[in-house]
Amino acid sequence: MFEFKFADIGEGITEGELLEWHVKPGDSIEKDGLVVEVMTEKVNIEIAAPVAGIIKETRYKVGDIIKVGEVMFTIEESGTAPVKGKKTPKIKEKPKEKDDSLFVASDKVTRRRKSDVELNKPQTPTKVAVDQVFQQEIVSERPLTSPGIRREAREKNIDLRHVKGSGSGGRITREDFEYHLQQGPVGQPSAGFIPVIPRQLQVPRGSEKRIPIKGIRRAISKSMARSKQTAAHFSYFDEFDMASLDKLRKDARAYAEKQGIPIKVTYLPFIIKAVTRSLIEHPTLNASMDDEKEELILKGFYNIGIAVDTPNGLMVPVIKDADQKSIWQLSTEIKDLADRARIGKLKLDEITGGTFTLTNVGPIGGLMSTPIINHPEVGIIGIHKGKLRPVVVEDSGKPEIVIRRMMYLSISVDHRVTDGANAARFMNQVIGYLENPASMFLDIM
C-alpha cells in the first residue's frame, strides 16, 4: 500500500487547502495521473500519482487544511502494468516553450511528479456589455470541472463561476461549457464592453451570513496577524514636493516616446531608486528578524517587494537586485510583475526573497495610511496620491503661498530593531532624493 504524504515545495510551506479531488476511492489511476489540487499560501499545485494502482482512500474533503507530512491518499499498487477500469487523465507534459506560470519542483520534494507544476491561475475578468454587468449570476464560488476545461476557460476569458454544471455535485461537463460559450460573448473585448465587477456579497436585512476565510485571503489573514502580533509597529509620516520628480518623469516619458521605447514611466521606479540608495546607508532597515534566535539578519542585497491589488487578494511580487537596475528596467519589470500578479501567473521565486516592501495606495485615494510590515522584513513604505495643494515656500527669500504637487509618504518599522529617529533620518534621505532626483545619478556621471 502506497501512502502519499503532503510535502513542502520549498520556502517554508507548512500547510495547504484542498481545492478539488479528481479521483474517488475505487478508481484506477495511472502513474502521473492527476489526483488532487491543493492551494498553498505561495502557489496552487496539481498533485499526480507517483505509482499506478487503485485509489483506496482519500483522507480529506474539499476545503480542509492539510499539514505537511500528513497522508492525503493511499494507492494499492499494481506495478507498471496498465490498469483496467476507469482511468484518470495524465497530466500532460508542457510544450518546450514554457509558460511563465510554471516552476520546476525542487529535487528535495519526493513523491511528486517530475514535470512542471502549473500554477492555478485565477480567472481573468469576463468581458460583458454594460447592460449585462448585473445580469451574470455566480452559480458556484468554487466550480468543479476538469483541468482541460479550466485551461480552456482561462484562454477564452471565461469565469467558470458563471457556468451552470449538470454533472454530479454541480460539476461542469464539456457539454455545459460548450453551451455556455454559445450563450455569451467570449474572447477579446470589443468597444462597448467593460470588465465584470465582482458582485458584493448580499446579506438580507436582519440576518447574518458566515463566510469561511480560505485560500489567499486566509494566507493574508495569517500573515498580517503574525506581523501585528510579533513586530512592534511604529509609523512615521512626511511629505515631499514633487516638482523636480514630476519634471524628470515627464522628460523620461518624452525621451522614451522619441526613441520608440515602449515604456510608460511612472513615479514608482524613481521611488524604488530613492529607497534602495537610502537603504544602503541604513542597513538595519534592509533586514529580516529571526524571532526564534532573536537575531537581526542584515541583507547585502536589495530586493524590493511591490504590493499589488489583485482580484484574489494582495500579492507582493519582488524585484530582485533593484539597486542594480535602471529606470527603464524597473519600469518594465514593475509592469510585467503587476500584470502577471493580477492574472495569477507569478512564479514561486518571484514572490519570495524580499528585503523591503513598498505599497502604493495612491491610485485608490486617501491621504495617509499605516502599512503593516511584511514580516519577517522590518520596514515598509506607503506611497500616496500626489495632489496639487497650497503650500508655503521661501524660494524668493520671503514666505509665499504657491500651488505645488505634493505627496505623503508613510513608513512602518519594527521598533524592536530600530528607533523612531533612525526611521525619520531614513525618510529624510528618501525625500531628499525625490525632491532632487538628479542627485541619485551623480555617481554614474
Amino acid at 238: D
- Cα 238 to Cα 245: distance, rounded to the nearest angstrom: 16
Is 415 an active-site residue? yes
Could you count the other beta carbons within 10 Å of the beta carbon of residue 148?
Answer: 12
Q: How far apart are CA 414 and CA 88, in angstroms?
A: 50
Partners of 400 in beta bridges? 393
**Is 123 within 8 Å of 143 (Cβ atoms)?**
no
**Rounded Cα distance, 48 and 2, in Å:** 13
d(CA 2, CA 130): 54
Give the bridge partners for 408, in sequence order: 239
SS3 content of the chain, % helix, strand, coil (to 5): 30, 25, 45
Q: Give one DSSP letter per residue of 51-96, joined into a string.
A: S-EEEEEE---TT-EEETT-EEEEEEE-TTSPPPSSBPPBPPPPPS
Residue with cell 503574525: 226
Given 233, 375, 384, 415, the catalytic residue: 415
3-class secondary structure, 237: strand
187 phi and psi, to 5 degrees? 80, -150
> Residue 176 in contact with residue 143, Cβ under 8 Å?
no
Return the C-alpha torsion angle 83, 88, 42, 127, nearest 10.
160
DSSP letter (8 states) at residue 42: S
Q: Is the peptide bond before 376 cis (omega within 30 degrees of 0)?
A: yes
Distances (CA, A) of 441 to 248, 263, 383: 12, 20, 22
- C-alpha cell recorded at residue 193: 464592453
What span, in angstroms and rounded, lies between the C-alpha atoms of 388 and 407?
9
Q: What is the 3-state secondary structure (H, E, C) of 240-272?
A: EECHHHHHHHHHHHHHHHHHCCCCCCCCHHHHH
Active-site residue list: 415
